[in-house]
Amino acid sequence: MQRSLKGFRLIHQHPMTLFRHTIDRKLKKHNINALVSQRLKRIPLIVKKLEIQENMQLSRMQDIGGLRIVVDTIQEANLIRDEIKKVEKHRNFKFTFANEKNYIETPADSGYRSIHMVYKYDKGIELRKQCRVEIQIRTRLQHAWATAVEVTGTFSNQLLKQSLGNKKYLNIFKKISKLFISLEEKKIDNEFVKEVKQDIENAQLLDKLRSFTIASKLVENNSKGKYLLLKMNFEKKEISASKYSDAKFEKANEDYLKMELEYFDNNAVEVVLLSIQGDLCINRDD
């Protein structure tokens, strides 16, 4: 399973690169300053998605290979979307349109906003090697929101991206998304701004995001260890870290449980045990 999964994952690299060239040309044509990234979905995340979505098949998964385009405005996002649609008619275009979801026009219930376009790379390729490439187009404001949700979900061990987990976080991010929409449309409700600001302060969300960002860098710079035990004190703005080898997992788990018990009733302190691969192993439930 692991070997076939790795092989199928790597097949997506070439189609991604081809589509990237198309996107780069369109951005240059319209002089759009965009952040473009391409990535292969990590194997642990592929496995997790297959587990969560019982009817999902690996061959039907649409986001193993992905390109993300982050632009300044909604107008630019729509322009790039339209330019990609035009390319579909070109004879040399090696992809077939599969589907599109426009979460900018119709935001997801969670508040998520982005344009998703999925293409199949199947011109002249044998059936078993067909794969899909997902194109995401969003503004910088929308990207900041999505990144905050992902980071908070990772470090609180919750599937916030799938609208699962702590209702407090989910509701706050939904409100923040509505606030961002009002900012883009220049229809600002000062009372709503105050309400969202108070919710963010009550949840210590900004302090947590700052700590999570620092913690992410600690994980990236700790490649020699296998596990990292973090204690984040949001009130004092302090982070302490202890690393453990693979053979010391039981010790890491023991230290985590002791620390969790010590700070169980302290909302200002978050304790988390991470694998160096970035997959959250254990964390207390809030």
Query: Cα(85)–Cα(164) distance, rounded to whole angstroms?
Result: 33
Last residue of a domain, one of 141, 158, 179: 141
- Express as a percent the part of the chain with pLDDT over 90: 37
User: In a 10 Å sphere around its CB, with 0-12 CB exposed, 13-18 middle and 19+ buried, how is residue 175 labelled?
Assistant: middle
pLDDT in tens, 208-240: 787 777 766 766 665 566 777 888 887 777 788
- For the chain, the domain total comes to 3
Contacts (Cβ under 8 Å, ≥6 apart) of 77: 69, 71, 104, 115, 137, 138, 139
Model confidence band, residue 269 (pLDDT cutoffs 50, 70, 90)? confident
Q: Which domain holds residue 178?
A: 144-202
DSSP class of residue 154 equals: H
Residue 132 sits in a domain whose CATH number is: 3.30.460.10
The verdict on residue 212 lying in a domain is no
Give me the chain's average pLDDT, please: 82
Are 82 and 18 within one domain?
A: yes
Are 132 and 153 within one domain?
A: no
Q: Give yes or no for residue 147 having a pLDDT over 80.
A: yes
Q: What is the pLDDT of residue 2?
A: 52
Are 113 and 171 within one domain?
A: no
Q: Give yes or no for residue 188 having a pLDDT over 50.
A: yes
The verdict on residue 215 lying in a domain is no
Q: What is the pLDDT of residue 11?
A: 77
DSSP class of residue 63 equals: -
Are 82 and 119 within one domain?
A: yes
Are 168 and 136 within one domain?
A: no
DSSP H or E segment with residue 98:
strand 96-102
Task: Check residues 37 and 122 and name the one with the higher pLDDT.
Answer: 37
The verdict on residue 213 lying in a domain is no
Are 40 and 79 within one domain?
A: yes
Model confidence band, residue 159 (pLDDT cutoffs 50, 70, 90)? confident
Residues 47 and 56: beta-carbon distance below 8 Å: no
Are 125 and 148 within one domain?
A: no
Summarize the confidence of residues 181-208 as an average pLDDT: 91
Position 81: which residue type?
Answer: R
Are 36 and 133 within one domain?
A: yes
Half-sphere exposure of residue 163, counting CA atoms within 13 Å on the CB side?
7
